Amino acid sequence: MNLHEMTAHELHELLQAKQISSAELTADIFSRIDAVEDKIGAYITLTRDKAVADAKAVDEKISRGEKIQPLEGIPCAVKDNICTKGIKTTCASKILENFVPPYDATAYGKLAAQNPVLVGKANLDEFAMGGSTENSGFHVTRNPHNLDCVPGGSSGGSAAAVAACEAVFALGSDTGGSIRQPASFCGVVGLKPTYGRVSRYGLVAYASSLDQIGPITRDVTDCALVLNAIAGRDEMDSTSTSADVPDFTKSLVADVKGLRIGLPKEYFVKGIDADVETAVRSAAKKFEQLGAQVTEISLPHTDYAISTYYLIAPAEAATNLERYDGVSYGARVDGADVVEMMTNTRTEKFGAEVKRRIMIGNYALSAGYYDAYYLKALKVRTLIQRDFVDAFKTVDLILAPTAPTAAFKIGEMVSDPLKMYLQDVCTVPLNLAGLPGISIPCGVTKDNLPIGFQLIGKALDEATILRAAYTYEQA
């Protein structure tokens, strides 16, 4: 097996045993990038010089006989809406094309403390608004399994980089499924932690009550290792939880005997691809064979999740994106006065999808419509949260499709926003409820495209979803 195809935990063993060097591994990853990146387009910025220097420093540490941390010397990618000090962070937007943050996001800072090798910043839908990585201000990312298909979004670059072996693991962000859906489309593992489990400080805000940073990896073990590195309380983020962070690798036990798993009937609706439904139901049967109890459950307000999400998220986005006005930082397009300068800047530098969501959000928040739309959406959000609370009285985990289809063709939905938004039907309820979820590969379609299912857990119970995911993966 080539080094670039291996998992982080396998590579860690080889590095520790001095069977390979981090410099050798990093060179191998960049050779892979040189071979396939023109076709895939996973990255916005490559950090080659920094990567070479960081790999050399890890090798010197190993040569001194020092023990290395689990992710030390392992090449990784970081989604380009996560701030990296001294390295461009563009959010795939022309408005931040040349923005270099003066500080690190907390999650990246915690990861950097483990001394992985940062290979580059990964492409995304502009400001994380999209489900296909076609809305990037720079270029479309392609699915490594079929170059005519999307990799999912908004963390499409992160998922494609891992799937195409252009990085061993990556960080993404998930506002309405942006880690789990691309993980499913690209045939890798993606975990959205509980809201507050990982600091949002330095994650460029899309919808602040929904955003969460998480790992995209080759297997469940790597997922646990990365979550160990980035989780924990942060004084810089008032929404981060002070709950203890367990060692998630201790959850990697192949045993689901007695675990109660619910299959929500609302997630197997008309319109779901037949191959996807078959693969997900087969995964449920596998859990039964492994000793879990699988029962059908109901999450009755699921039908309202998309409408609720696409009022709350754009409303928060409209507020968060007010800061891009051509004054403090980012791009500026001149005008005759301040108002014209701001208008010109936002008109020219924001993409179509970002403008669409700003307009939806401002409409929902405007006088006369606030109660009818935004306030009502907040009330329905509470009902969706209660559905999960009630379900978890009888089950330990919920199993569902990650997306209703496998990866679709590039250009297929980009002109039909409503059709694109409906792709989020299985992922947005978790963000509205603030719960953790993991997407695991569970088969392929007749066209050989990956299919994923997600396991949804109680708040702060990443340990159980990792245990169940690991058991399925090992089986």
The predicted pLDDT at position 319 comes to 96
- 93, 136, 154, 158: which one is catalytic? 154
Intra-chain end-to-end CA distance of the chain, in Å: 22
| 30 has pLDDT over 90 | yes
pLDDT in tens, 111-165: 999 999 999 999 999 999 999 999 999 999 999 999 999 999 999 999 999 999 9
Alpha helix positions (H), 290-411: 305-320, 338-349, 352-365, 376-391
- pLDDT at residue 236 greater than cutoff 90: yes
pLDDT at 47 (0 to 100):
98
Which position among 173, 178, 240, 439 bears the catalytic label? 178
Active site residue 415: no
Spatial separation of the C-alpha atoms in residues 268 and 274, rounded to whole Å = 10
Q: Which CA distances in Å does 468 have to 8, 130, 204, 258? A: 20, 29, 32, 11
pLDDT for position 416: 87
- Per DSSP, the three-state class of 172 is strand
Q: Tokens in use for 436?
A: 């953790």
What digits encode the pLDDT tens for the residues 245-265?
999 999 999 999 999 999 999
Q: What is the pLDDT of residue 117?
A: 98
The arrangement of secondary structure in 3-251, i.e. its CATH architecture, is Alpha-Beta Complex (3.90)
Question: According to the model, what pLDDT value does residue 417 have?
Answer: 86
Instruction: Give me the long-range contacts of 243-250 (CB less than 8 A, separation at least 24).
Output: 243/197, 243/460, 245/197, 246/463, 248/224, 248/462, 248/463, 248/466, 249/221, 249/224, 249/225, 250/463
158 counts as catalytic: no
Question: Helix/strand/coil (H, E, C) string of 104-140?
Answer: CCHHHHHHHCCCCEEEEEECCCHHHCCCCCCCCCCCC
**Separation between Cα atoms, residue 58 and residue 115, nearest integer Å:** 8
Amino acid at 57: A
**Is the pLDDT assigned to residue 1 strictly greater than 80?**
no
Class of residue 155 by CB neighbours under 10 A (exposed 0-12, middle 13-18, buried 19+): buried
Number of Cβ within 10 Å of residue 352's Cβ equals: 11
pLDDT in tens, 166-220: 999 999 999 999 999 999 999 999 999 999 999 999 999 999 999 999 999 999 9
* 269 vs 200, residue with greater confidence: 200
The domain locations on the chain are 3-251
Give the model confidence (pLDDT) of 371-410 as tens digits.
Answer: 999 999 999 999 999 999 999 999 999 999 999 999 999 9
**Catalytic residue flag (residue 154):** yes
User: Exactly one of 79, 94, 121, 458 is catalytic; which is it?
Assistant: 79
Instruction: Say if residue 408 is exposed, middle or buried (CB neighbours under 10 Å; 0-12, 13-18, 19+).
Output: buried
Q: What is the pLDDT of residue 396?
A: 98
Amino acid at 312: I
- Tell me the per-residue pLDDT of 429-457, one tens digit each, with 9 for 90 and over: 999 999 999 999 999 999 999 999 999 99
